[in-house]
Every structure is written in C-alpha cells, then in structure tokens.
Chains A and B, each alone.
Chain A
C-alpha cells in the first residue's frame, strides 16, 4: 500500500482511510453529505495525489499523443488542457485522461491511479516515433480545490489572477509560497475551482496554507466518497465503472472527445461505429420512487427482462433521490424513456434524463 505525501495529515484530521487503487486514501473526514454540500456551496480541498502524471517531450511528442489519444491535441496551445481518452485496439478504452500542453514540445498527461502501469506500457508500446517519456507519478502531488468560493478564497495565495484562468486553461505560477506550480482550472465536481500540481516535498505547505486561506470561507478537506457523489451528479465517467477496456467512447457518450480529424488507435473502427450507431448507450437516469441504484444492478424493461446494467449509482445529496448511469440498447436511451432498476426483489421505475443531474 502506497501513501501520498499527506496520508499522515489526513489521519491526524480524523479521516477514515481506505485502500484505493493501491493508495491509502481518505474516503471521508466529517461525513460524505456535509463534504458534498461544502463543495457545492463553498469550497473544499481534496488530496488526489494518487493520480498519475506522465511527461511526453521532444519534437515527436505531439505525434505520439495524437496516435494514442482520441481528442485532437493539435488544437492545444500552451496553457490549455483537454479531456481525452486512450482507445485500445478492440473498441474499448485503456483510460481517460487530461492532456496539458506545458511548453512547445512538452505535454503532461494526467491518468487514473489504477491505470498508471497499464497506461505507461500502452503508450510506450505505441512510441515508435521517438518521443521522450517520463513517469512523474511518484514525485508529484495533486490537490483539487473545488467550489464556488475557490477563486475568492485562494486569491491571496498567488500573484496570478485566478479569475482570469478560463475553464480547462492553466498557468505555471506561484502558489502558497511555492514557485512553478501548475494552477489548472479543471476538476471533477462541476462546482468550479482549481487543481494544483506540485512536488511531493511542497504539498504539505500548500495544503496547510490552502486550509488557512480558506478558513474564512468554510473550507473543509473532502474525501473520495464525496468526490464520487459530486462527479456522478455531473455525469462524469469514472474509469472502472462507466468506462473500461470493453466500453467504446462512442457508447459512453464520449464522441465529443473522439475526433476523426486525425488517425489514432482504432479510429477507423470507432468511426464506423459512430456512423452506424452504437449497440448500447450510456444513459443517465433518476429513480421515480425511493431506492438507490448501485454499480452492477440490472436494468430491466416493463416485463422484467434485463436490458442493461447500472455502472454507477448513488443517492444524490443535492437532489435527494437515487441517480445513476448505465448501458442500455439505443431504443431505451432517449430522454424521458421509462426503464426499471432491479433493486433486490423490486423493479423500481426510473426515467432517462439529460445530464447533468445537478444543474447548479
């Protein structure tokens, strides 16, 4: 079990620690509902240092990235980031990730902790163009500072104008007394804010100053449990639940990051799938009655026949009802379609809805 540079800090704050993707991580501090509300209404800070970071450098860096990712990285100017995925050769997804253009020929790829080794090996196997790859995962930390008050609460920590950093843009600047950190207007909550990339040796100072600067704004440390309810209320995919080696980006509703303006791994097959339409689609649904959908529950039609499976589900803290994502054939995928979720002995009626669940 690996620790982040802050594992002891979390324990000292009273966090409940759990193993997650090989790391000892805080699942909650005070309670998932209060942490969720803190991010929706004020500001919270997450240690997500388990995430992996790769640097791709050299004159062939872009060429490699274009080959392995589905989004069009040639659109990235320095200071911009994009959400993307790594398609495999069989129609599925190796991982989803964020690609940052840091310098002219330097890109940062941020990947899921659970997939660090798999992604590294995969990208390396496609690197016949001579790009330089470096795995920074063990040396770098990542804090997410999220919520509507994040800008105001954190402005005193930096000479950069935080309000000027647009969504999916970033600056390399000073933060909490540390130089050259990446301040990125990204996140996994739908409530705005930043992600801060820094060295492991710097993260404790930043964490402490973030909590200090945020105190007047009601900042709290937030665990992985609330990270999951927050992302699910937005309908953001979680690798291992909603997308995996067997789900295609087209099925998963990730057509918007699958750009056929270039060739990439399996692009011809994915293009054909897009043209003929996928056999199943990832849908978002709300339960019409009490109950909580969970990962792995069956989705059934009005006659009780299985038509699909729930990939993520929870009781939405913001909506106060059961919400979830799951795959069904396209005939059941239109908004307002009626489906049922098999919860133990009962088929609970549910309605297909448009994302996000939480509209702010």
Chain B
C-alpha cells in the first residue's frame, strides 16, 4: 500500500498536500483499492466556500457511491477536469494525476488535526 510520507491524511481516506495556503486533495491508494474501478468523480462545489467535513463531491465506482468530505475549510478553487474523461486515473495514480480538488484554506490551524503518514498507516492497519 502506497502512503507517501510527505502527505497528510484523513480518517475518510483522503490525502492532503499543503502548498502555502492551497491544499490539493485526493483519495488514498487504500481508498481506491477498496472502491474498485472508479467510473465517475462528481464535484459540483467548484467556487463554493465550505466548512471542513462538508461533502464536496462524490466518487462512484462500478458498485458503490462514496461521498467526498472536505478535510479543511475553504474555497474550492480548482477541480481536476482530467477526471471527467479519465476517472480511472484515480485508480492508477491516486496521488498525482488522480488529484481531485484544490482548496484555498481559510484556517491553516486545521492542518494540525490531519493525520501523518504513520498515523494513517496504523489507521488502515497497513
């Protein structure tokens, strides 16, 4: 199971990459393997400002639908449009080409509440 050490994680199996006050968010390798073949990523919250833990979108695998929860409060400033035609890159490359949104964070102190790679690893028992 690939869990890059430089990223932050959530208990909802999302990863967060912080760059200044912009967070890039996707789902983890563990999440994509549990979901199976991903066929649709729907984000209808672009340009909206949401609180942490609100639903920012949904990811659909062949058999299941899962809500995507925002790890950090802020404005959704970008959606990975590449996923519209190739949602399967979330399976093949969850931490790079499979990123989902970028958020302009409104409260950087929330970053402290995210999990480290080690903590996430023990959460999933990897």
Chain A residues within 8 Å of B, Cβ to Cβ: 16, 27-28, 31-33, 225, 228-229, 290-292, 294, 314-315, 317, 344-345
The CA-CA distance from A228 to B37 in the complex, in Å, is 14
**B62 near A315: Cβ-Cβ < 8 Å:** yes
**B37 near A32: Cβ-Cβ < 8 Å:** yes
Confirm or deny: B39 has a beta carbon within 8 angstroms of a beta carbon on chain A.
Answer: yes
**Closest beta carbon of chain B to A109's beta carbon, Å:** 29
Contact of A32 among B40, B58, B62 (CB under 8 A): B62
**B36 near A28: Cβ-Cβ < 8 Å:** yes
**B37 near A294: Cβ-Cβ < 8 Å:** no
Count of A-B residue pairs with CB < 8 Å: 38
Question: Across the interface, which residues of B come within 8 angstroms of A291, CB to CB?
Answer: 40, 42
Question: Across the interface, which residues of B come within 8 angstroms of A294, CB to CB?
Answer: 65
**Closest beta carbon of chain B to A302's beta carbon, Å:** 21
**B63 near A32: Cβ-Cβ < 8 Å:** yes
Question: Across the interface, which residues of A come within 8 angstroms of B63, CB to CB?
Answer: 27, 32, 225, 228, 314
**B36 near A292: Cβ-Cβ < 8 Å:** no
**Closest beta carbon of chain A to B46's beta carbon, Å:** 14
Confirm or deny: B60 has a beta carbon within 8 angstroms of a beta carbon on chain A.
Answer: yes
Contact of B62 among A16, A229, A290, A345 (CB under 8 A): A229
The CA-CA distance from A345 to B45 in the complex, in Å, is 12
The CA-CA distance from A302 to B16 in the complex, in Å, is 41
Can you list 10 A-B contacts (CB < 8 A)?
A16-B36, A31-B91, A32-B36, A33-B37, A33-B88, A294-B65, A314-B63, A315-B39, A315-B62, A344-B58
Contact of B39 among A28, A292, A345 (CB under 8 A): A292
Contact of A315 among B40, B42, B58 (CB under 8 A): B40
Q: Which residue of A lies closest to B58 (CB)?
A: A344
Question: Across the interface, which residues of A come within 8 angstroms of B39, CB to CB?
Answer: 292, 315
Q: Which residue of B lies closest to A18 (CB)?
A: B63
CB contact list, B77-100 vs A, under 8 A? 84, 88, 91
Contact of A317 among B44, B58, B62, B91 (CB under 8 A): B62
The CA-CA distance from A92 to B2 in the complex, in Å, is 50
Contact of A33 among B42, B44, B62 (CB under 8 A): B62
Question: Across the interface, which residues of B come within 8 angstroms of A27, CB to CB?
Answer: 63
Question: Across the interface, which residues of B come within 8 angstroms of A314, CB to CB?
Answer: 62-63
**Closest beta carbon of chain B to A344's beta carbon, Å:** 7
The CA-CA distance from A292 to B63 in the complex, in Å, is 10
**B60 near A31: Cβ-Cβ < 8 Å:** no
Question: Across the interface, which residues of B come within 8 angstroms of A228, CB to CB?
Answer: 63
**B65 near A225: Cβ-Cβ < 8 Å:** no
Q: Which residue of B lies closest to A290 (CB)?
A: B40
Question: Across the interface, which residues of A come within 8 angstroms of B84, CB to CB?
Answer: 290
**B58 near A225: Cβ-Cβ < 8 Å:** no
**A31 near B40: Cβ-Cβ < 8 Å:** no
**B65 near A31: Cβ-Cβ < 8 Å:** no
The CA-CA distance from A345 to B91 in the complex, in Å, is 26
The CA-CA distance from A27 to B88 in the complex, in Å, is 19
**A292 near B37: Cβ-Cβ < 8 Å:** no
**Closest beta carbon of chain B to A148's beta carbon, Å:** 22
Question: Across the interface, which residues of B come within 8 angstroms of A229, CB to CB?
Answer: 62
Question: Among B37, B60, B65, which residue has the most Cβ atoms of chain A within 10 A?
Answer: B37
**A31 near B37: Cβ-Cβ < 8 Å:** yes
Question: Across the interface, which residues of B come within 8 angstroms of A315, CB to CB?
Answer: 39-40, 60, 62
Known A33-B37, A225-B62, A292-B40; further 4 A-B contacts with Cβ < 8 A: A27-B63, A33-B62, A292-B60, A317-B62
The CA-CA distance from A297 to B76 in the complex, in Å, is 28
Would you give the 0/1 interface string for B30-55, flagging 1 where the beta carbon is closer than 8 Å to chain A?
00000011011010100000000000
